[in-house]
């Protein structure tokens, strides 16, 4: 009925169902970097209850009425939404430039139990196990228990697995032992792909099993220069009968698999290996990979089950879209983390699988602190597209690297034709990439990364900003004109305060990195970068003691989302507490109520920094309430009843930052890691950040009601650590647990990294930069 109404909204209105469906007209404006007005209709969506009391497991007796809120399974190479007819693959796109989007592969892995099993009276249980990376359906019948497991294998990364385990029950009737149990199933791959021209499937016999193969090519390349040829795709899958037969005296596991890759040999080789595996061993290998990931790090919350579940759900969805650390066959290059993850991206609303600034500003920071190897992979996506970024800079009359607002397969600009102004003006994405590189270097001091592209990308980004800055002889400052900050309600402005600060940081970082790299990379005039940064314009109102969002901003104008407040965090630009408070309080008052959740995450962190704890808690709750959809903790871009993009990783990343950097108090600088006023999130009785990675060490921050401790699991011998609590220095060694008394800050430092002066990181000065800064 709901599907019918969704397609026939006028009929629903005529039937007088407005109260039940709560139909309302809304306007979607901008796509985290797009500016379009699309008139759509949404309805209130009934959400089912999560009945599990395990923080890692989400269970329900009925699936969401809206398929968009079904959970996803993935392993970084392939992903799908459970029971959908679509599989997406890392780096597989179809469409020219702005029409480029993830290419749909039919879900030959979509095997379902027939409704005769899952309908009343058997009351199936649908569960997502976030710790083991598996979706499960359990049907407890009179004569058997049927369990279906669906997962994207974390070791055999080209494979989606469907396993149906039938366990007969003991029956009192002796005659029944001779009966058979029949289980009706169906394969539902959906229609032919419009994105990939597959040849007709052909059958084969492999390992005494009837299997199918279909190979094809994407229909249209993303760019005629950087992608002259379409991409090959090849899939193998097992034949699926319409029913399964099990003797009543024996349990049995039926395994159905699908493999897919750009290389037919790879898809076939893994498929053959899977067919040789025992069903339970196959599942165990998958589980082992997930367990190892969770052993590396995580956030644990006690006293607030809902909050704990939300956190585990976020990490599950993130890790499902990131490549496996260990794989049976070598992995393809990684094509980034898009706003809705790997399981989505075939539509405009799902951001088409493109990469935005969302990755570096919203998702990257928390991933970096627990999984720095994944952080490097995210930066590698940008490095892989550096040449295209250099060509874009030339095309727009600039130097260095200018990265596009949206990118996908080739690295060219792939924004929709609707929104050319966003691609033209929202250039801060380039500065955000440099800021992510700064954070990465601060946490890892990864010299290998510098040698293999890091020096080049940092210095070329600086060249871009140096070519964009124009001296204003009236005031002696450099202006950056024709830009758009994160607030997409204001376009084509001069001296966006956020843009200028990330540009300044980019210029300063290049000066610092040129020193780190000087033995193997020659930079041109690094001090000139610092001179420009020092004198970049910095909008600031002395009378009102706040930062206008850009030059000429009219006080009282509404904004879409957090912009100037990002100076305080994540940029950590130095300012007086009064200025920070004024920025926070003013911009909260003019931010649209329909803005994305990340805005309130940054405001919550800001209020914690100025020690306004009640306000911080209020805003913290605002970061997730209304955005998280039950029962599988799928995030929507907009607060209910609106939806927008689904499984919105961008908002998830902002929320994690509120916990890690807000309540956890972590702060990263190029020469230290700080813990500032670590405290419990609202309603929690314990909060643990397990597996903090800093300069090769492994640390755990444990915040309780009575005390807070820092435990050291390991330390890199190259980077010995000393923590200062304001009075004493403590050498951090493996096995040590330190009680953190008071608010701190507790500062952790190591030996200096080469003889290189740290960046000045100060802009807005209209006099010559002093020698030595």
Q: How many domains does the chain have?
A: 2
Whether the CB-CB separation of 561 and 591 falls below 8 Å is answered with: yes
B/e letters for 674-709, b = 16+ CB within 10 Å, e = fewer, are: bbbbbbbbeebeebbbbbbbbbbbbbbbbbeeeebe
Distance CA 42, CA 529 (A): 49
Range of the domain at 166: 63-298
pLDDT at 644: 94
> Does residue 633 fall inside a structural domain?
no
pLDDT at 16: 35
> Does residue 663 fall inside a structural domain?
no
Pull the structure tokens for residue 200.
């007709």
Domain boundary among 298, 320, 346: 298
> Does residue 760 fall inside a structural domain?
no
pLDDT at 73: 99
The secondary element (H helix, E strand) that includes residue 116 is: helix 115-118
**Rounded mean pLDDT of the chain?**
93
pLDDT in tens, 267-283: 999 999 999 999 999 99
pLDDT at 45: 67
Give the ranges where 372-518 is alpha helix by DSSP (H): 372-384, 386-395, 420-425, 428-444, 447-449, 455-468, 497-516
Q: Is residue 128 helix, strand or coil?
A: strand
> Does residue 389 fall inside a structural domain?
no
Task: Quote the radius of gyration of the chain (alpha carbons, Å).
Answer: 27
pLDDT at 1: 33
Selection from 23-32, 568-577, 758-767 with the highest mean pLDDT: 568-577
pLDDT in tens, 466-508: 999 999 999 999 999 999 999 999 999 999 999 999 999 999 9
- 145-162 average pLDDT score: 98
pLDDT in tens, 614-658: 999 999 999 999 999 999 999 999 999 999 999 999 999 999 999
pLDDT in tens, 744-756: 899 999 999 999 9
pLDDT in tens, 370-382: 999 999 999 999 9
pLDDT in tens, 47-58: 899 999 999 999
Inter-CA distances, 310 with 129, 305, 615, Å: 13, 9, 21
Pull the structure tokens for residue 232.
């090959």
Distance CA 667, CA 669 (A): 7
Catalytic residue among 220, 488, 625, 630: 488
pLDDT in tens, 77-123: 999 999 999 999 999 999 999 999 999 999 999 999 987 777 766 78
Q: Is 588 a catalytic residue?
A: no
Q: Up-side HSE of residue 597: CA atoms within 13 Å toward CB?
A: 33
> Does residue 271 fall inside a structural domain?
yes
pLDDT of 175 over the 70 cut: no
- 569-581 average pLDDT score: 99
Whether the CB-CB separation of 438 and 507 falls below 8 Å is answered with: no
Q: What is the CATH number of the domain that holds 290?
A: 2.70.98.50
Give the ranges where 218-371 is alpha helix by DSSP (H): 264-276, 279-296, 305-321, 357-358, 364-370
Distance CA 669, CA 441 (A): 9
pLDDT at 334: 99
Distance CA 723, CA 725 (A): 7
Pull the structure tokens for residue 81.
């939404």
- 359-385 average pLDDT score: 99
pLDDT band at 6 (very low <50, low <70, confident <90, very high): very low
pLDDT band at 766 (very low <50, low <70, confident <90, very high): confident
pLDDT of 139 over the 60 cut: yes
pLDDT in tens, 708-739: 999 999 999 999 999 998 789 999 999 999 99
> Does residue 670 fall inside a structural domain?
no
pLDDT in tens, 430-450: 999 999 999 999 999 999 999
> Does residue 482 fall inside a structural domain?
no
Domain boundary among 250, 277, 298: 298
Distance CA 517, CA 501 (A): 24
pLDDT of 611 over the 50 cut: yes
pLDDT at 143: 83
The phi, psi pair for 296, rounded to 5°, reads -70, -30
Domain boundary among 278, 298, 318: 298
> Does residue 671 fall inside a structural domain?
no
């Amino acid at each position: 009925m709901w599907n019918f109404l969704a397609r026939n909204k006028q009929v629903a209105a005529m039937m007088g169902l407005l109260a039940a469906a709560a139909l309302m007209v809304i306007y979607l404006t901008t796509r985290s970097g797009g500016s379009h007005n699309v008139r759509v209709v949404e309805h209130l969506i009934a959400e089912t209850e999560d009945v599990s009391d395990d923080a890692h497991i989400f269970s329900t007796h009925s699936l969401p009425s809206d398929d968009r809120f079904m959970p996803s399974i993935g392993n970084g190479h392939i992903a799908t939404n459970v029971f959908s007819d679509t599989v997406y693959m890392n780096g597989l796109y179809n469409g020219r430039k702005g029409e480029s989007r993830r290419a749909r592969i039919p879900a030959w892995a979509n095997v379902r139990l027939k409704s005769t099993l899952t309908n009343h009276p058997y009351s199936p249980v649908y569960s997502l196990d976030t710790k083991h990376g598996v979706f499960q359906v359990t049907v407890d019948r009179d004569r058997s228990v049927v369990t279906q497991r669906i997962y994207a294998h974390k070791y055999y990364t080209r494979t989606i697995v469907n396993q149906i385990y039938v366990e007969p029950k003991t029956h009192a009737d002796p005659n029944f032992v001779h009966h058979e149990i029949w289980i009706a199933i169906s394969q539902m791959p959906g229609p032919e792909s419009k994105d990939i021209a597959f040849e007709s499937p052909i059958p084969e016999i492999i390992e005494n099993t009837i299997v199918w193969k279909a190979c094809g090519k994407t229909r249209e390349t993303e760019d005629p220069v950087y992608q002259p040829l379409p991409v090959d795709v090849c899939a193998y899958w097992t034949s699926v009968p319409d029913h399964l037969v099990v003797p009543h005296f024996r349990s049995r596991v039926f395994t159905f698999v699908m493999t897919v890759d750009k290389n037919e040999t790879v898809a076939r080789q893994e498929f053959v290996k899977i067919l040789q595996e025992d069903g339970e061993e196959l599942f165990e290998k998958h589980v082992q990979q997930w367990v190892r990931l969770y052993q590396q790090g995580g956030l644990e919350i006690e006293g607030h089950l809902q909050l704990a579940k939300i956190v585990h759900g976020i990490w599950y969805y993130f890790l499902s879209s990131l490549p496996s650390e260990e794989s049976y066959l070598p992995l393809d290059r990684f094509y980034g983390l898009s706003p809705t993850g790997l399981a989505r991206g075939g539509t405009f609303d799902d951001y088409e699988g493109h990469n935005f600034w969302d990755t570096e500003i919203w998702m990257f920071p928390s991933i970096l602190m627990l999984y720095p190897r994944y952080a490097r992979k995210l930066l590698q996506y940008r490095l892989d597209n550096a040449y295209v970024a250099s060509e874009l800079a030339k095309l727009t009359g600039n130097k260095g690297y200018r990265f596009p607002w949206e990118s996908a397969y080739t690295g060219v600009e792939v924004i929709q034709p609707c929104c050319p102004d966003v691609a033209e003006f929202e250039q801060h994405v380039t500065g955000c990439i440099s800021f992510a590189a700064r954070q990465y270097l601060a946490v890892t001091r990864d010299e290998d990364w510098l040698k293999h592209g890091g020096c080049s990308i940092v210095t070329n980004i600086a060249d871009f900003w140096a070519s964009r800055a124009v001296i204003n002889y009236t005031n002696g400052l450099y202006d950056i004109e024709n830009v758009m900050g994160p607030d997409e309600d204001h376009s084509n402005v001069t001296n966006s305060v956020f843009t200028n600060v990330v540009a300044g940081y980019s210029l300063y970082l290049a000066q610092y990195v040129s020193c780190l790299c000087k033995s193997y990379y020659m930079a041109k005039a690094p001090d000139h970068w610092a001179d420009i940064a020092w004198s970049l314009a910095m909008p600031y109102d002395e009378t009102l003691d706040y930062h206008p969002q850009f030059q000429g901003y009219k006080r009282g104008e509404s904004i879409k989302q957090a912009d100037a407040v990002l100076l305080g965090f994540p940029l950590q630009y130095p300012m007086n507490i009064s200025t920070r408070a004024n920025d926070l309080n003013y911009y909260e008052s003019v931010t649209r109520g329909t803005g994305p959740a990340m805005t309130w995450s940054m405001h919550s962190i800001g209020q914690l920094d100025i020690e306004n704890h009640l306000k911080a808690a209020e805003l913290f709750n605002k970061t997730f309430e209304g955005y998280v959809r039950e029962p599988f903790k799928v995030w929507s871009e907009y607060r209910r009843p609106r939806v927008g993009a689904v499984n919105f990783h961008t908002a998830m990343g902002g929320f994690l930052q509120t916990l890690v950097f807000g309540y956890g108090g972590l702060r990263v600088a190029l020469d230290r890691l700080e813990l500032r006023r670590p405290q419990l999130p609202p309603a929690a009785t314990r909060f643990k950040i397990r597996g903090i990675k800093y300069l090769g060490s492994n640390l755990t921050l444990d915040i309780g009601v009575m005390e807070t401790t820092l435990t050291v699991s390991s330390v890199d011998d190259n980077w010995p650590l000393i923590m200062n609590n304001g009075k004493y220095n403590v050498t951090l060694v493996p096995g040590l647990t330190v009680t953190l008394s008071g608010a701190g800050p507790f500062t952790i430092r190591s030996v200096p990294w080469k003889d290189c002066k740290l960046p000045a990181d100060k802009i807005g000065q209209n006099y010559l930069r002093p020698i030595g800064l």
